[in-house]
Amino acid sequence: MDTVTNNAPATSVADTVRRQMWSVEQIAALFDLPFNDLIHRAHEVHRQNFDPNAVQLSTLLSIKTGGCAEDCGYCPQAARYHTTVDNEDMLGVDAVVAAARAAKDNGATRFCMGAAWRGPKQRDLTRVIDMVKAVRGLGMETCATLGMLKPGQAEQLKSAGLDYYNHNLDTAPEFYGNIISTRTQEDRLDTLAEVRNAGLHVCCGGIVGMGETRRVRAGLIAELANLDPYPESVPINNLVQVEGTPLHGIAKLDLFEFVRTIACARITMPKAMVRLSAGRQEMPEGIQALCFLAGANSIFYGDKLLTTGNPEAARDRDLMDRLGMYPLVPAGVKREE
Ligand code: SAM
Ligand code: DTB
Ligand code: SF4
């Protein structure tokens, strides 16, 4: 795979974006456009803001798997659901560094560490900080998703060299209570404010395919786009249905609707990295190509997400080659010659 270096200035959305408010109606009207019109419009926005053939590669690692006290209805790691995911101990720093090195050797530029917590206790955070320092030392961008943060915790992560914090809104406010009861969207917004105020880049998106209406999908995109500023990185997940979770067995989303969601994210958050996230393993390559056309420019890369599967890295490299796409190397990331 050839690579391309992103020579754009290393500014964040926070530095560069003038605020534009979006109503749910405006976004619902985008969703309602004929497919070709919507994709054309999204692709134009994409081309104005990015190299349309470059894709950013992030590898995920679950550093603390299972046994979570929360009740997110989509999640195989919630202790209260009977899935095949066991409650495991937190990984040691050496195991995390070995996984990050392997991800880097495979071509990933960002390493994202996820933990099945409501939020980190201070002794957990201290260990995560050691992991962040070690992964940053490899010359990779770092991301963590550890749940809700208390005041001061985001600053500690920032000081350790963390680049991004992932915390999703998951779905629109009116549908949220159908999916999660142990934390509110207000709680999530509080954590996002902690992250933003600490100077970390915000990675925030949601999940579709949870039985929501198109209006709810438009509401999620509106809520994300109206964050001030909107997130630097927006993961759009298609629900991975896991046996034992409450959402297992519900009707699957029409994948053209998934592509529409990506397009609406691109139009409303023109400078954000839009990540085609969970659900790619069940997504035909043609649909993934449509997602790239509609403005997705980032993927999770590597055989596993947190606990579920993802396309094999070699398959993704092959797909990118066939599409004439190449990995984006962010300014500041070191690559071996
Ligand atoms: N425990 C932390 C939290 O919830 O904030 C961090 C890890 S949690 C697994 C990160 C995100 O993964 C969730 O907010 C959700 O958007 C996504 N996710 C979890 N299970 C999923 C599934 N089955 N399908 C799609 N996305 C999922
Ligand atoms: C995000 O929005 N999607 C990723 C990442 N952020 C942490 C997680 C997807 C998890 C899919 C289910 C699993 O593998 O457990
Ligand atoms: Fe726990 Fe996060 Fe899963 Fe919710 S999404 S059950 S907080 S691991």
Per-residue pLDDT of the chain (337 residues; tens, 9 = 90+): 554 444 333 445 555 555 689 999 999 999 999 999 999 999 999 999 999 999 999 999 999 999 999 999 999 999 999 999 999 999 999 999 999 999 999 999 999 999 999 999 999 999 999 999 999 999 999 999 999 999 999 999 999 999 999 999 999 999 999 999 999 999 999 999 999 999 999 999 999 999 999 999 999 999 999 999 999 999 999 999 999 999 999 999 999 999 999 999 999 999 999 999 999 999 999 999 999 999 999 999 999 999 999 999 999 999 999 999 999 987 766 655 4
pLDDT of residue 188: 98
- Which atom of ligand 1 is closest in space to residue 306's alpha carbon? 9
Cα 63 from chain centroid (whole Å) = 17
Tokens of 77: 């790691």
pLDDT of residue 190: 98
Q: In this structure, what CATH number is given to the domain that contains residue 170? A: 3.20.20.70
Residue 236 lies in a domain: yes
CB 100 within 8 A of CB 63: no
Residue 146: give the domain boundaries.
Answer: 25-326
Mutate to test the pocket of ligand 2, among 113, 306, 307 (most ligand atoms within 8 A of CB): 306
Residue 331 lies in a domain: no
Residue 9 lies in a domain: no
Instruction: Check if 145 has its Cβ closer than 6 Å to any atom of ligand 1.
Output: yes
Residue 159 lies in a domain: yes
Residue 3 lies in a domain: no
Query: Distance between CA atoms of 38 and 45, rounded to whole angstroms?
Result: 11
Instruction: Check if 259 has its Cβ closer than 6 Å to any atom of ligand 1.
Output: no
**How many domains does the structure of the chain reveal?**
1
Residue 299 lies in a domain: yes
Instruction: Check if 255 has its Cβ closer than 6 Å to any atom of ligand 1.
Output: no
Nearest Cα residue to atom 4 of ligand 3: 72
CB 155 within 8 A of CB 195: no
- Which atom of ligand 2 is closest in space to residue 114's alpha carbon? 7
Query: Coil, strand or helix: which one is 110?
Result: strand
CB 274 within 8 A of CB 298: yes
Query: Distance between CA atoms of 178 and 158, rounded to whole angstroms?
Result: 34
List residues near ligand 2 (CB under 6 A). 60, 76, 114, 145, 166, 168, 205, 235, 237, 240, 277-278, 305-308
- Which atom of ligand 1 is closest in space to residue 148's alpha carbon? 5
| Distance (Å) from CA 278 to ligand 2 centroid | 6
Beta bridge partners of 238: 208
| Distance (Å) from CA 75 to ligand 1 centroid | 6
Residue 8 lies in a domain: no
Residue 52 lies in a domain: yes
| Distance (Å) from CA 278 to ligand 1 centroid | 9
Judged by its nearest atom, the ligand closest to the C-alpha of residue 120 is 1
CB 118 within 8 A of CB 70: yes
Nearest Cα residue to atom 2 of ligand 3: 116
Query: Coil, strand or helix: which one is 199?
Result: coil
